[in-house]
Amino acid sequence: MSRLETIRLISYAKSGHYGSSFSCSEIFATLYYYQLNYDSKNPKWAERDRFVMGKGHSAVGVYPILADVGFFPKEELDTYTSLGSPFGDHPDMNKIKGIDFSSGSIGHGLSVGVGMSLGARVDGLKYRTYILMGDGELQEGQVWEAAMSAGNFKLGNLVAIVDNNKVTVDGVTKELMNVNPIKEKWESFGWNVVEVDGHDVEALIDTFDNLPNVDSKTPTVIICDTVAGKGVSFMEHGFEWHVANLGEDDIKRAIAEIEGGK
Amino acid sequence: MTTQTFHKDTWELFKSLELSKQLTTGETLAKLGHEHPEIVALCADLGYPTRLADFGEKFPDRFFDFGLAEKNMVTAAAGLASTGKKAYVSTYASFLGVLCAEQIRTAVAYPNLNVRLIGTHTGIAMGFYGTSHHATEDIAITRSMANMTVISPADGVALSEMIEESVKTYEGPIYFRVSRGRETPIYENNSSNIQNKIGKANVVREGSDITIIACGIEVKQALEAAELLERENISTRVIDMHTIKPIDQEIIFNSAKNTGAILTVEEHNVQGGLGSAVAEVLMESGNFCKFKRHGIYDEYSIIGKPYYLYHHYKLDGEGIADEAKTLLNQS
């Protein structure tokens, strides 16, 4: 559903982040339909879990889910990217119910999450904060400032999710600016590291079920092995589809493949 | 008898303690901390020089030292503010308003969050520590951000009063620009009246021949200039324009009309700072008068001990009086 809606919405805009949204479709679905604690009728509920997209350009994959779980009517999505619409390529917390923080500047998300996790601690609340980052995002220095501080402040209520789809705008992450080894980096910053197939919903559920207690002293990072453009054969693994626009025939092919794959 | 720790004019140290008496953010927040559980404070390994640590000592669970990671600190403050906190962040202005400009813009101003940034040791107050430590761009940078309030208080009392207002009633992001904390104060300590209100400029001296509009520690220097000008029978009005955005337009119109000459004074680049803000108001109002922006003239400041540096840039009383006379003598 997230993938099909992404294609529909991007067709309005004539340009959008297909590949980087498709790589985290299962992550979004598992978070909103299984893991996150929220109340779509009370989006500002103080005890809700927080979800921040460090890679805000995947927002087009989340908007349809937010509508589906009741934050706003699905028809509102049809304004996507039109003049004055609340729904842009990157999300705005003051315009869209269910969005916990505005994003768009890659590398800020984990720092925001550190602040939210500290806020939970100050208030004595038990919610968790989840931050989705891309592997390309790990090239931003601020991510490692935040990673260091999360370990230092012992934020067991903070969960980072790395959508390791291995591509960025200009090419393949490993060749363009190698971020590997990812696992060892997080371990050395004092994090609990879990590796999982990011397209395997059952494995994701199992990972979330086994998160350390909120009161634990160690933040957790879930490194999700994913495929950019997952679900559409001619998009998979290709950095060309990070930002792109599908022609009409390609849209039909993509929709057929996604529906066939369900 | 209190021991004097530094020379009041040169700021040269006698002993390295009790330096920053005018940096009142921490003590003000500490005073309000019990009544206002929403206050949290963040620093970046400069908790003592900024005196934010005064809050941390009383409320250690609401005080976070981020080490030398200012961008992470500012963005985390935004995260905290999104959970309902009023987050006070303090470090040197060169590492806050300048270094973290993008984080302030995107994570604080754009989402319109209650993050209060207190950039200390601004302008050329860091003297010989180096041009890298001077902040003569921070007004221009923060003033161009929508939602942002920009305040340059004249002394510790003014800072404290407006910090208190920002806790109790004021909403939205604020950039406070303060000096090194060793300046001579101008407002009355322990006054029963509030002497500084955000958005409302203060006439700190009346006069009829020229108006000097200053902010921050230059207000005190402008008052000294007015004394010198008085000896030459020039009557000088001095305005403390502590809030640069939103600016008090009425007092600018009024000064143009009633004194016919305005000199702005700031320890900031004349490009984009207080002088530019006043010029914008004047040009759009049609209330024209003799006008000059005085400050750092679009250059990277040289180094030196602060006393000599302020003298070099004519940002002391004597230099400002000179500038005022030059403006008045223009035909």
What CATH number is associated with residue B109? 3.40.50.970
Q: Which CATH architecture has domain A1-260?
A: 3-Layer(aba) Sandwich (3.40)
Cα distance from A9 to chain B (closest Cα, Å)?
A: 25
Q: CA–CA separation, A60 vs A25, rounded Å?
A: 10
Chain B's closest residue to A100, CA to CA, is B82
Span B105-110, average pLDDT: 98
E strands of B93-186, at which residues?
Answer: 115-120, 149-151, 174-177
Q: What pLDDT, on a 0 to 100 scale, did the predictor assign at position B240? A: 98
B67 lies in the same domain as B212: no
Domain locations in chain A as residue ranges: 1-260
Cα dist from B144 to B173, B175, B246, B277, whole Å: 13, 12, 11, 11
B7 lies in the same domain as B146: yes
Q: What radius of gyration do chain B's Cα atoms show?
A: 19
The answer to whether A219 touches A155, Cβ cutoff 8 Å, is yes
B168-206 tens-digit pLDDT: 999 999 999 999 888 889 999 988 999 999 999 999 999
Q: CA–CA separation, B137 vs B142, rounded Å?
A: 9
- Choose the closest CB to A149 out of B72, B83, B106: B72
Ramachandran sector of residue B112 (left: φ over 0; alpha: ψ -120 to 50; beta: rest): left
Nearest CA among A148, A168, A172 for reference residue A160: A148
A126-185 tens-digit pLDDT: 999 999 999 999 999 999 999 999 999 999 999 999 999 998 888 898 989 999 999 999
Would you call the peptide bond into A212 cis, given omega within 30 degrees of 0 as the criterion? no
B118 lies in the same domain as B229: no
B165 lies in the same domain as B225: no
Give the three-state DSSP class for B135. strand
B154 lies in the same domain as B210: no
Q: What pLDDT, on a 0 to 100 scale, did the predictor assign at position B20? A: 79
The answer to whether B245 touches B149, Cβ cutoff 8 Å, is yes
Which residue in this structure is represented by tokens 């161009």? B144
Q: Kindly determine whether residue B76 and residue A101, on different chains, have CB atoms separated by under 8 Å.
A: no
B283 lies in the same domain as B156: no
Q: What pLDDT, on a 0 to 100 scale, did the predictor assign at position B23? A: 94
Instruction: Determine, yes or no, domain membership for B185.
Output: no
B68 lies in the same domain as B172: yes
Q: What pLDDT, on a 0 to 100 scale, did the predictor assign at position A11? A: 85
Contacts of A145 in chain B (CB under 8 A): 66, 69, 71-72
Chain A's closest residue to B105, CA to CA, is A105
Q: Kindly determine whether residue B79 and residue A102, on different chains, have CB atoms separated by under 8 Å.
A: no
The answer to whether B44 touches B15, Cβ cutoff 8 Å, is no
Q: CA–CA separation, A19 vs A160, rounded Å?
A: 20
Q: What pLDDT, on a 0 to 100 scale, did the predictor assign at position B17? A: 47
Q: What pLDDT, on a 0 to 100 scale, did the predictor assign at position B25? A: 96
Q: How far apart are the first and last CA of chain B?
A: 53
Chain-centroid distance of CA B225 in Å reads 19
Q: CA–CA separation, B43 vs B73, rounded Å?
A: 7
Instruction: Determine, yes or no, domain membership for B190.
Output: no
Which residue(s) pair with B13 in the sheet? B6
CATH of the domain at B266: 3.40.50.920
| Residue B42 phi, psi dihedral angles, 5° rounding | -135, 135
Q: What pLDDT, on a 0 to 100 scale, did the predictor assign at position B1? A: 42
Q: CA–CA separation, A158 vs A136, rounded Å?
A: 20
- Choose the closest CB to B106 out of A105, A119, A145: A105
Neighbour-count burial of B15, counting CB atoms closer than 10 A to its CB (0-12 exposed, 13-18 middle, 19+ buried): exposed
Q: Kindly determine whether residue A122 and residue B67, on different chains, have CB atoms separated by under 8 Å.
A: no
Domains held by chain B: number: 2
B166 lies in the same domain as B277: no
Instruction: Determine, yes or no, domain membership for B197.
Output: no
Q: Kindly determine whether residue A113 and residue B103, on different chains, have CB atoms separated by under 8 Å.
A: no
Q: CA–CA separation, B29 vs A124, rounded Å?
A: 21
**Which residue of A99, A103, A112 to mutate against B (max B Cβ within 10 Å)?**
A112
B14-48 tens-digit pLDDT: 655 456 789 999 999 999 999 999 999 999 999 99
Instruction: Determine, yes or no, domain membership for B264.
Output: yes
Size of interface A-B (CB pairs under 8 A): 98
Q: What pLDDT, on a 0 to 100 scale, did the predictor assign at position A211? A: 97
B152 lies in the same domain as B207: no
Instruction: Determine, yes or no, domain membership for B129.
Output: yes
Secondary structure (DSSP) of A146-197: HHHHHHHTT-TTEEEEEEE--B-SSSBHHHHS----HHHHHHHTT-EEEEEE
Whether B197 contacts chain A with CB within 8 A: no
Cα distance from A108 to chain B (closest Cα, Å)?
A: 7
Angle, CA B168 vertex, CA B33 and CA B90 arms, to 5°: 60
Of the candidate ranges A170-179, B65-74, B83-92, B253-262, the one whose mean pLDDT is the lowest: A170-179
Residue B323 pLDDT > 90 = yes
Low-confidence ranges of chain A (pLDDT < 50): none
Residue B252, both tokens: 């600018």
Instruction: Determine, yes or no, domain membership for B57.
Output: yes
Q: CA–CA separation, B215 vs B240, rounded Å?
A: 6
B315 lies in the same domain as B271: yes
Contacts of A116 in chain B (CB under 8 A): 79-80, 82-83
B162 lies in the same domain as B222: no
Span B112-140, average pLDDT: 95
Residue B99 pLDDT > 90 = yes
Give the three-state DSSP class for B112. coil
Q: What pLDDT, on a 0 to 100 scale, did the predictor assign at position B100? A: 97
Q: Kindly determine whether residue B80 and residue A116, on different chains, have CB atoms separated by under 8 Å.
A: yes
- Choose the closest CB to A115 out of B61, B79, B102: B79
Give the three-state DSSP class for B154. coil
Give the three-state DSSP class for B237. strand
Q: What pLDDT, on a 0 to 100 scale, did the predictor assign at position B5? A: 65
Which residue(s) pair with A76 in the sheet? none
Chain B's closest residue to A104, CA to CA, is B106
- The residue range of the domain holding B300 is 202-328
Q: CA–CA separation, B212 vs A74, rounded Å?
A: 58
Q: Kindly determine whether residue A101 and residue B64, on different chains, have CB atoms separated by under 8 Å.
A: no
Q: What pLDDT, on a 0 to 100 scale, did the predictor assign at position B18? A: 56
Q: CA–CA separation, B254 vs B240, rounded Å?
A: 14
Q: Is B250 considered catalytic here? A: no
B115 lies in the same domain as B22: yes
